[in-house]
Amino acid sequence: MRIRDILSADYIGKEVTLRGWVYRLRKQKGNTFVLLRDDRGSVIQCVFPSTRIDNITRESSVEISGIVKEDARAPEGGIEISGTDLKIFQVSDKDYPLGEYQSAELLLDYRHLALRTRKMIEIAKIRASIFKFLRQWFSDNEWMEVTPPLIVKGSVEGGSTLFKLNYFGDVAFLSQSAQLYLEAMIFSLGPVWSLTSSFRAERSRTIRHLAEFSHLECESPWVTLPDLLQIQENLVRYTIDKTIKERKDSLKFLEIDTNRFRGLAEPFHKITYDQAIEKLISLDFKMAEDDGKSRMIRWGDDLNIDSERELTRQMLTPLFITGYPTEVKPFYVKENPVRFGTSLTFDLLGPQGYGEVSSGGMREDHLPTLSSRIKQAGLNPVDYGWYLDLRKYGSVEHGGFGMGIERLLRWFLGIEDIKDSVLFPRTMSRSSP
Ligand code: 4AD
Ligand code: MG
């Protein structure tokens, strides 16, 4: 039996038995109040005569039997259990390192235990729903789920963030993106999608970069850039709408004001990169330079977190930016045939300053162009031989995108530091627990 069942149906006066852990413990002279947490993270207050449970400690694993009672003072739903029996599986060591208030660093050091805190439990539930509804959307719309390899030979998103592996004496890398493999699959499987870990050796400590993140990617033959924007928009709206409905209680616990999502019902905003730069210039936006100085932003600059924040600060609806300079994007992007120097690409930015959530666009499908781009990027064409084959044997127009789930969660839940959107964060300084 689970606590949720007891809270959601009429069990008053009935005897129940629950298994779980002692989440909080308050001993008084006469009675001891045990806040029991079950294996789905719900809690309920159980009251015992203090003499009955002398040796119990926080996080002890127990089985509690008792009568369900109404009591307005009970912390969860005005319902508590008047304990009649207590079986102990294990008395937890007295030195449980996490108290009620802890520094963020300590919670990260003890993440394996911090997963038992209400905040992490509710975030984990919301993550699970996001995954469930993303999968549901793709399934309902007849995209096929595929599983690309994560050990690869070439870079997709630039050499500076590659994790190098000793692969039986040879060099290989951890995948930065499944994109090139998804591109290979569309010729026989049609629209495909995958959800994998992607790896980036991000050397800077930021509140939106992880070394390992959950990457949702999709790719389809015969799509256009406007199609991709629509697919991305439908996917995000569906997933968030469904998650809000399924996880009302979790959002309430995390004190998320669902009014923040009002703007999602509207078509997402769309501007071109050119318009974004004009807007930033009109706002007198300055780029920080490496030497500590700053200068006015200009055409050709990539958009960074500061400029993205500036553009979306006042918005409640996500923003698409299309047509980035080809130079600031990787080797595979398709150049805009009617506006040389710009590419058929987009980024989706979360509103209210949260910044980039996904990147995508059309792919270069012309063999000589792609081949020279690979060389220009300083990559070894040998490693991309198989990828170039895709442009030799029945090349078609195609495109797709990749969305970081932690970036989506960061915006959705208004999380400051991306580390809080994942259970075991991997960063430059943290590969354990
Ligand atoms: O913008 P990125 O680098 O694009 C690609 O990898 C494409 N090949 C995807 C594709 O078209 N199939 O990464 C895609 C998204 C970003 O928009 C961001 O949400 C997330 O992945 N991302 C990260 N999330 C957390 N930590 C990092 N270090 C991230 N790097 C990228
Ligand atoms: Mg990007």
For ligand 1, the distance from its centroid to the CA atom of residue 291, given in whole angstroms, is 27
Q: Which of 47-51, 139-143, 211-215, 265-269 has the lowest mean pLDDT?
A: 47-51
Mean pLDDT to the nearest integer, 36-54: 92
Query: Do both 70 and 30 map to the same domain?
Result: yes
pLDDT confidence band for 77 (50 / 70 / 90): confident
Which atom number of ligand 1 is nearest to the Cα of residue 178?
Answer: 12
Query: Do both 131 and 81 map to the same domain?
Result: no
CB 320 within 8 A of CB 347: yes
Which atom number of ligand 1 is nearest to the Cα of residue 176?
Answer: 6
Residue 69's alpha-carbon distances to 14, 132, 176, 191, in angstroms, are: 8, 35, 54, 54
Query: Do both 85 and 115 map to the same domain?
Result: no
Query: Do both 65 and 125 map to the same domain?
Result: no
Distance from C-alpha of 145 to C-alpha of 193, rounded to nearest angstrom: 5
Mean pLDDT to the nearest integer, 194-208: 93
Query: Residue 98: inside a domain, yes or no?
Result: no
Domain boundary among 27, 56, 90: 90
**Ligand 1: which residue has its CA nearest to atom 2?**
359
Q: Tens of pLDDT along 272-296?
A: 999 999 999 999 999 988 888 999 9
Query: Residue 97: inside a domain, yes or no?
Result: no
Query: Do both 78 and 140 map to the same domain?
Result: no
pLDDT of residue 55: 84
Average pLDDT, the chain: 96
pLDDT confidence band for 205 (50 / 70 / 90): confident
Q: Which of 68-77, 204-213, 391-400 has the lowest mean pLDDT?
A: 68-77
Query: Do both 210 and 337 map to the same domain?
Result: yes
pLDDT confidence band for 101 (50 / 70 / 90): confident
CATH of the domain at 115: 3.30.930.10
> Does the beta carbon of 111 sit less than 6 angstroms from any atom of ligand 1?
no
Question: How many independent structural domains does the chain possess?
Answer: 2
Query: Do both 31 and 122 map to the same domain?
Result: no
Query: Do both 132 and 84 map to the same domain?
Result: no
Domain extent for 319: 111-421
**Ligand 1: which residue has its CA nearest to atom 11?**
401
> Does the beta carbon of 407 sit less than 6 angstroms from any atom of ligand 1?
yes
Mean pLDDT to the nearest integer, 182-211: 96
Site to probe by mutation for ligand 1, drawn from 175, 179, 198 as the one with most ligand atoms within 8 Å of Cβ, is 198
Site to probe by mutation for ligand 1, drawn from 156, 177, 220 as the one with most ligand atoms within 8 Å of Cβ, is 177
pLDDT at residue 76 above 80? no
Query: Do both 216 and 135 map to the same domain?
Result: yes
